Structure 1
Amino acid sequence: MQKLTSTASRQASIAMGEYDGVEYVSVGEVHSPRIENNNLRKVSVLPLVFLIFYEVSGGPFGVEDSVQAAGPLLALIGFLIFPLIWSVPEALITAEMGTMFPENGGYVVWVSSALGPFWGFQQGWMKWLSGVIDNALYPVLFLDYLKSGIPALGGGFPRIIAVLALTVILTYLNYRGLTIVGWVAVLLGIFSILPFVVLGFVAIPKYEPSRWLVVDIHNVDWNLYLNTLFWNLNYWDSISTLAGEVQNPKKTLPRALFYALILVVLGYFFPLLFGTGAVPLNRDAWTDGYFSDIAKIVGGVWLRWWIQGAAAMSNMGMFVAEMSSDSFQLLGMAERGMLPEFFAKRSRYGTPLIGILFSASGVVLLSWLSFQEIVAAENFLYCFGMILEFIAFIWLRVKRPAASRPYKIPIGTVGAVLMCIPPTILICVVLFFSSLKVFIISVVSIVIGFVMHPCLTYVEKKRWLKFSVNSHLSDLHGANQESAGSLID
């Protein structure tokens, strides 16, 4: 028999350990069983590796600014050292927390479990907005790489139509299913990496090792340098928002994160090594798309076209991977009762229909921002979200030491705190260098999230929209908290 209650009373029951696995609905509403996705195809290791690859990287396109900002030596060192400070801790935390809570929603669920539903909602809002801002960049970059061959795409009405058409096509790929997206990511990833392997061999006669050691410490644009490193090496946690769609996530997720980490670091370092060593240094020339110029100098027009095509395809891969993460996050939040139930609606392909539509609309609305504004704004919001994740990670280590963790970082509580200190310091540095415009936009966005949560609570209280919790999910706050990680294989 179903109990009739509001989310507030339901959460109170959960907190007292009285939650009985029943999905609650409001008075006067008929409950229809949620269609589960158990019979849908799950994502295996190889597609998952390339989904992570595209959510984080997509290849070395966009790293050129690091050379312009700081020169070859600091750019090369940055893409070796920065992963140790930022990428490795974030990937490890994602592996531990993602296997502890192997469900859609990812970091939203982690923060909700540790800090409560209010901060879980704020995490979801900031990370979703950051992801949509990030995704608004890729159709624009795709056209930027093609406009040299098709000048009409450089601006005006044809460019607007092209952005809209590209967004619709890539959104449809997401609608058709995560398995398709995963294998598309594999094919695009191979196509994006191969030309740089060829570039590395073709450029061998032109290498001059002394070019790699060039540095001018007094002429470094630290803001551009740090934002470029940060933008190219974050979003490891994004894959957690679709953990419920992964085949045996307790084993697959940590393994895929490990392989993807190696692929991303090598995919940045070696193209930078090839490019800076093969041509004379001109820092001003190192902007987006400069790898295609290097390819022409080293190998000819055919290699330039290959890298331009790979860059365009890479942006498509990053778009579909990011949209998958953003839309499944909204689905996961709805299944936890944080958003109206219609966000949990799946298409016949098992994809989050409403989440995809919302994410695509956000991309179209934000596509007018400039590249630098997009990078800086998303970094600012992302930083706040990561701070909440670090707090949740440490808090759950302290408060739930006996909870099931199929993958656990082999360090104690003190080690967990120490591991989070360097990336937290880095976050503070990135925030310090943010411009006033980006600061104001980001703060306004955060305030909107603070207002939105009580508004949704009021909407639920008035029963204007239906909210419900999926009964198949783990109890985050009640008696079953110590077995939260044992539910989904």
Structure 2
Amino acid sequence: MSEQPPASTYKKLIPLQLAAIIFLTVSGGPYGLEPLLSFAGTHGALLLLIITPIVWDIPTILTVLELNSMMPVTGGYYQWVKRALGLRFAFYEGWWTWLYTFVDLAIYPVLFISYASFFFPGIEAYKIPVCLVIIWSSVGLNILGIVPVGKTSLILGALVLIPFVILFGVAISGFSGDFSLPSPSLQGLSFNSIGMALYTVMWNFLGWDNTTTYAEEVDKPIRTYIKSASIAFLLIFVVYFLAIVTAQQSGVDYATLNDEGFPVLGSIYGGYWLGALLSLGGMASALGLFSAVLLSVSRVPQVMSDDDLLHKKLHTLHPKYKTPYVSIIVCACIVSLMILWTFEELLIIDVTLYGAGLFLEFVTLIVLRIKAPEEHRPFKIPLNITGLCIMSLLPVTVYCIALAAAFSESGGTIVPALFALGTLLTAELVWQFIQWEKQYTARKTKY
């Protein structure tokens, strides 16, 4: 039998490929941002689009870069929390993130159906089989390895961005008259509308930590992550800003934009051909997001199984491609059961679960600064402990406002919010079961 080559001999991601994966993991283009104008209106949309990334994303990105520079290892955030807070909270982190990602992954096939309806108006009737084809095609790609996912992400990322570049160009060339941005204001908006607008922006800017779970599969990970995350953030923000401004200047009805998506803007500015191009971009976005996010989440159960928190089979690597194919298949099976929720319900559940795990990462950052102040950090946030605490309060505050808004009115937002909170509580229940099972196995072995 021939000896398998060491992991170091396998191809690794380079900065441009990682930037493409980060872009697709976090964003995938403005697709999914359409509800913002319906929730926040003309005067609130840009205000929340500018403020939310500052208080929600920048602290998160800085935290991820510092912790990843200390520990660029497979499992990323799970390993960071385990070192700082112990195995119990690491399980919380892994469990919450695993569950949140199932919800997140379920959103993308639903979005694919939405944009495909531009070409096939009756495709909603075939939602389940189409979604299943998307899910299991991505499984096959992920089993082939991280580099095929990276190369595919470059292609899909281009397919996402090119239609918007054309849209922006057509919109600018056809513009005549005085250009002015609407004055920023949240006046007249209900608390629930503000909360849903926050959820929309937060969801379109989350996932920076997900891209660290495969750090050992990245070439020169510390430098590459800093460079790739910076490129991705600037690209995402600029594209989002231009997309919202273009929508505002078009005079489109916001309810129509919410229902039909950005392809309706293409039809307004360029006719059917541009609407079709944006629809294709939306379909590419959904496919790219699914593959990129599945790549990150499949590494979490792999490392949790190493700590006897999940079944050892989840760590089984493919004999040829060295990918955690059992974990990938299990994740896809669970996601296949989640596709019946609506987009708005998935949005609330998704952000609520993600925010809880993110809170543990901020605590981890502070604890490791206290426990290991002298440890080498190639990237270090230029703040002391007090400054880190204040920085961490910013995203936590936004999270609490959005969650409180979901409970502020009776209606469709309360049920998914309650479901999300109940799901968070399952972490402790499963942890207790794991401890009981270990004790039972130890007693049985002893006697």
TM-score (norm 2): 0.91
Pairing 1:240-389 to 2, within 5 Å after superposition: 240-277=212-249, 279-287=250-258, 289-347=260-318, 348-389=320-361
Does structure 1 conserve the Cα–Cα contact (< 8 Å) formed by 2:96 and 2:357? yes
From 166, 174, 183, give the equivalent of 1:198: 166
Does structure 1 conserve the Cα–Cα contact (< 8 Å) formed by 2:346 and 2:416? no
Q: Which residue of 2 aligns with 1:117?
A: 87
More displaced, 308-317 or 158-167? 158-167
Partner of 1:405: helix, strand, or coil?
coil
State the Cα distance separating 1:118 from its structure 2 match.
0.5
Pairing 1:384-463 to 2, within 5 Å after superposition: 384-434=356-406, 435-461=413-439
For residues 262-316 of structure 1, the C-alpha deviation after alignment (integer angstroms, 9 at most, x for no partner) is 1111121112122212x12523223054321111111111111100000000000
Q: Distance in 1 between matches of 2:217 and 2:335?
A: 24
From 134, 157, 161, give the equivalent of 1:166: 134
1:43 aligns with 2:13: yes
Distance 1:36 1:330, change over 3 A: farther
Q: Distance in 2 between matches of 1:149 and 1:424?
A: 41
Q: Distance in 1 between matches of 2:370 and 2:164?
A: 45
Partner of 2:188: helix, strand, or coil?
coil
Does structure 1 conserve the Cα–Cα contact (< 8 Å) formed by 2:71 and 2:80? yes
Q: Distance in 2 between matches of 1:135 and 1:318?
A: 8
Show structure 2 runs of 5+ residues with no match.
407-412, 443-447
Q: Distance in 1 between matches of 2:335 and 2:263?
A: 27
State the Cα distance separating 1:62 from its structure 2 match.
1.2
1:181 aligns with 2:149: yes
Q: Which residue of 1 aligns with 2:445?
A: none
Q: Which residue of 1 aligns with 2:50?
A: 80
From 27, 32, 41, give the equivalent of 1:57: 27
From 102, 108, 128, give the equivalent of 1:132: 102
For residues 420-464 of structure 1, the C-alpha deviation after alignment (integer angstroms, 9 at most, x for no partner) is 121111111122122431233123212222121232334445559
Q: Distance in 2 between matches of 1:260 and 1:358?
A: 29
Partner of 1:86: helix, strand, or coil?
helix
Partner of 1:209: helix, strand, or coil?
coil
For residues 336-372 of structure 1, the C-alpha deviation after alignment (integer angstroms, 9 at most, x for no partner) is 4433322221112121112101110111011111111
Q: Which residue of 2 aligns with 1:89?
A: 59
State the Cα distance separating 1:223 from its structure 2 match.
2.2
Does structure 2 conserve the Cα–Cα contact (< 8 Å) formed by 1:68 and 1:285? no
State the Cα distance separating 1:198 from its structure 2 match.
1.1
Q: Distance in 1 between matches of 2:308 and 2:355?
A: 25
Specify the code of the residue in structure 2 equivalent to 1:447: L
State the Cα distance separating 1:91 from its structure 2 match.
0.7
Structure 1 runs of 4+ aligned residues shifted over 3 Å read: 33-36, 210-216, 335-338, 457-464
Does structure 1 conserve the Cα–Cα contact (< 8 Å) formed by 2:195 and 2:403? no
Distance 1:394 1:35, change over 3 A: farther
Does structure 2 conserve the Cα–Cα contact (< 8 Å) formed by 1:104 and 1:331? no
Show structure 1 runs of 5+ residues with no match.
1-32, 465-489
Does structure 1 conserve the Cα–Cα contact (< 8 Å) formed by 2:305 and 2:314? yes
For residues 365-404 of structure 1, the C-alpha deviation after alignment (integer angstroms, 9 at most, x for no partner) is 1111111110001111111111111111111111110122
Does structure 2 conserve the Cα–Cα contact (< 8 Å) formed by 1:98 and 1:240? yes
Does structure 1 conserve the Cα–Cα contact (< 8 Å) formed by 2:196 and 2:405? no
For residues 142-180 of structure 1, the C-alpha deviation after alignment (integer angstroms, 9 at most, x for no partner) is 11211232234111xx33222212211111111111111
Partner of 1:151: helix, strand, or coil?
coil
Q: Which residue of 2 aligns with 1:7?
A: none
Specify the code of the residue in structure 2 equivalent to 1:94: V
Partner of 2:118: helix, strand, or coil?
coil
Q: Which residue of 1 aligns with 2:410?
A: none
User: Over the residues paired in the alignment, what is the CA RMSD in angstroms?
Assistant: 2.0
Partner of 1:286: helix, strand, or coil?
helix
For residues 26-74 of structure 1, the C-alpha deviation after alignment (integer angstroms, 9 at most, x for no partner) is xxxxxxx998522221111111111111111000111111111112332
More displaced, 305-314 or 331-340? 331-340
From 198, 206, 209, give the equivalent of 1:226: 198
Specify the code of the residue in structure 1 equivalent to 2:267: K
Distance 1:81 1:214, change over 3 A: closer
Higher helix share: 2
Does structure 2 conserve the Cα–Cα contact (< 8 Å) formed by 1:331 and 1:352? yes
Distance 1:334 1:36, change over 3 A: farther
Does structure 2 conserve the Cα–Cα contact (< 8 Å) formed by 1:376 and 1:438? yes
